Amino acid sequence: MSIVPDHALYTVAQVRAMDRHAIDINGIPGYELMQRAARAAWCVLEQTWPRARQLVLLCGGGNNGGDAFLLGTQALKCGRDVVAVALGAMDEGAGDAGRSRQAFVEAGGTLLAAEGLAALPAADVIVDGLFGTGLKRAPDGRAAALIRLANAHPAPVLALDVPSGLDADNGEAFDPAIRATATVSFVAHKRGLFTGQAGDCCGRIVLEDLDLPARPAVLGQPDARLLQVDALPPRPRASHKGDYGHVLALGGDLGMGGAIRLCSEAALRCGAGLVSVATRQAHLLALQAARPELMAHAVEDQADLEPLFARASVLALGPGLGRGEWGRAIWQAALGQDMPTVLDADALNLLAEHPVPLHAACVVTPHPGEAARLLQATTRQVQADRYAAVRNLARRYGVVAVLKGSGTLIADPDGQVAVCPWGNPGMASAGMGDVLCGVIAAMLAQGLPAREAACLGVGIHARAGDRAAARGGERGLLAGDLMCALREVVNGN
């Protein structure tokens, strides 16, 4: 059994088709697949918790429960003490799952009924085999009770294929859902394990392909892909600042000068050759004192923007823009320009109020609330299917869309989706989106097409956030703390 690194993400339907192909075309019996899954999961458990002696299995009535029973059988053969808590009648025995249950009992395993169980037995590790990938509603009854008992138990949890209570397609965690320490994903990565609330449920994710033959082309391309570590090429020694673009950052209405400062400095830190700032007169002194490398300009009406547009190659529009008269005038003038633009914050809210055609090289960067306004939906609907939401955004506006959040998604109008595997909860703080806007603008300024700029920019931003958090912790992480880390990451250090 091998732990397989894989950046391809699939829907539940695609993975089920892979299972059926292995059984019907490749001739691998379903019970053999179940045994392979159990052996693979047992190897992960042994490697992760080598001192674990007592295991408690939570076993549903389907194949996921069968995987857990067979893992328990492996553990018994290795001298571990194993108790299985089974949903449903104690004499259930149909199909491969029933055969697995019988093998566990014959190996000497202890079987308990979930009904009436007030607490889980003592355990060094709990194995979650309650539900597989098909769950589309909140667990209830005894299943819900077992999930709550597992989450309250001091032992770590190993989830088989997907944590019970998590939608494996969309990353929506129902109430309740298992909070696993590690998850063994079988056959192929399910896309829902990498976005939304999945980060609170999955823990460390290990992919086991169960030694299946190569994935057949007839099953289609992956639905999405994880971002990989990537970087810009080294610069020629004869470089000059004009080679790397001129970002014009527009925003910072009265009282919001910090947002445009974060955006524009991030663009500088990520390699834009020149960065100008169009903002209110009241912010100039602070900007020039704190970061003299920025070319800050007072803009009070659209006429003040014309010479700035003439020199710029990329626009970063929205941080601190506001939706007052000044912000609306800046927004209208900026979207009339024929150049790549990153739209963030109130530039997106104004777009939702007044939809207009966007330049094909634009990138929009909404959080779920802004995405909901752009799609005339609710935040709950966006978060319930983030993949559909980001694809709808990209199609509706004809641009590259970045849906921020845990497991940030990037989509182009053709429906290609990339998923960011980096980032941390400390980045849920004011100004982080302003920084991302500047990072992506810097990538555009250095000549990357919109999709590549968004993907690389999202990855750099998230990895810089992780590096900054590693230095002092997640809580209290400030957007400004990313600046030095951005420079390190963008240079491959």
Quick one: pLDDT at residue 129?
Answer: 97
Please count the other Cβ atoms lying within 10 Å of the Cβ belonging to residue 15: 23
What is the C-alpha separation between 407 and 425, in angstroms, rounded?
11
| Average pLDDT of span 415-427 | 97
**Residue where one domain finishes, among candidates 199, 224, 249:** 224
| Residue tagged 């098909």 (tokens) | 134
**CATH code: domain of residue 180:** 3.40.50.10260
- Judge whether 78 lies within some domain: yes
Cis peptide before 368 (omega within 30 of 0): no
**Residue where one domain finishes, among candidates 224, 259, 276:** 224
239 pLDDT exceeds 90?
yes
pLDDT in tens, 91-116: 555 789 999 999 999 999 999 999 88
419 within 8 A of 398, measured Cβ to Cβ: no
4 pLDDT exceeds 60?
no
Are 259 and 169 in the same domain?
no
Are 462 and 364 in the same domain?
yes
Are 202 and 253 in the same domain?
no
What is the C-alpha separation between 425 and 140, in angstroms, rounded?
29
Quick one: pLDDT at residue 1?
Answer: 27
pLDDT in tens, 20-33: 999 998 899 999 99
- Judge whether 235 lies within some domain: no
- Judge whether 234 lies within some domain: no
Quick one: pLDDT at residue 471?
Answer: 95
419 pLDDT exceeds 70?
yes
- Judge whether 230 lies within some domain: no
- Judge whether 486 lies within some domain: yes
Are 216 and 143 in the same domain?
yes
- Judge whether 233 lies within some domain: no
Query: What is the three-class DSSP state of 490?
Result: helix
What is the C-alpha separation between 331 and 317, in angstroms, rounded?
7
Tokens matching residue 242: 């004009």
pTM of this prediction? 0.94
What is the C-alpha separation between 445 and 462, in angstroms, rounded?
20
| Average pLDDT of span 267-278 | 98
What is the C-alpha separation between 9 and 241, in angstroms, rounded?
39
Are 25 and 59 in the same domain?
yes
Q: Please count the structural domains in the chain.
A: 2
Tokens matching residue 420: 């960011």
- Assign 213 a pLDDT band (cuts: 50, 70, 90): confident
Are 28 and 151 in the same domain?
yes
- Judge whether 138 lies within some domain: yes
pLDDT in tens, 372-404: 999 999 999 999 999 999 999 999 999 999 999
Domain range for 204: 8-224
Task: List Cβ neighbours of 131 (8 Å cut-off, separation of 6 or more).
Answer: 60, 62, 64, 139, 143, 162, 164, 165
**Residue where one domain finishes, among candidates 224, 258, 276:** 224
Residue 166 has phi, psi (to 5 degrees) of -105, 130
294 pLDDT exceeds 90?
yes
Are 134 and 264 in the same domain?
no
pLDDT in tens, 188-207: 999 999 999 999 999 999 99
Quick one: pLDDT at residue 3?
Answer: 36
Quick one: pLDDT at residue 321?
Answer: 98
Task: List Cβ neighbours of 73 (8 Å cut-off, separation of 6 or more).
Answer: 38, 100, 103, 104, 107, 109
Are 335 and 467 in the same domain?
yes
Are 212 and 349 in the same domain?
no
Phi-psi region of 423 (alpha: psi -120 to 50; beta: other; left: phi over 0): left
Describe the crossing of helices 368-375 and 346-353 by its angle, rounded to 10 degrees: 20
- Work out the mean pLDDT of the chain and round it to a whole number: 94
Q: Mean pLDDT lowest for which of 133-142, 268-277, 407-416?
A: 133-142
- Judge whether 95 lies within some domain: yes
Residue (of 145, 138, 141, 192) closest to 165 by Cα position: 138
Quick one: pLDDT at residue 93?
Answer: 59
Strands 341-343 and 363-364: parallel
Are 306 and 166 in the same domain?
no
**CATH code: domain of residue 333:** 3.40.1190.20
Are 268 and 331 in the same domain?
yes
Are 260 and 218 in the same domain?
no
Bridge partners of residue 54, in order along the sequence: 81
| Average pLDDT of span 356-361 | 93
> Between these two residues, 215 and 261, which has the higher pLDDT value?
261
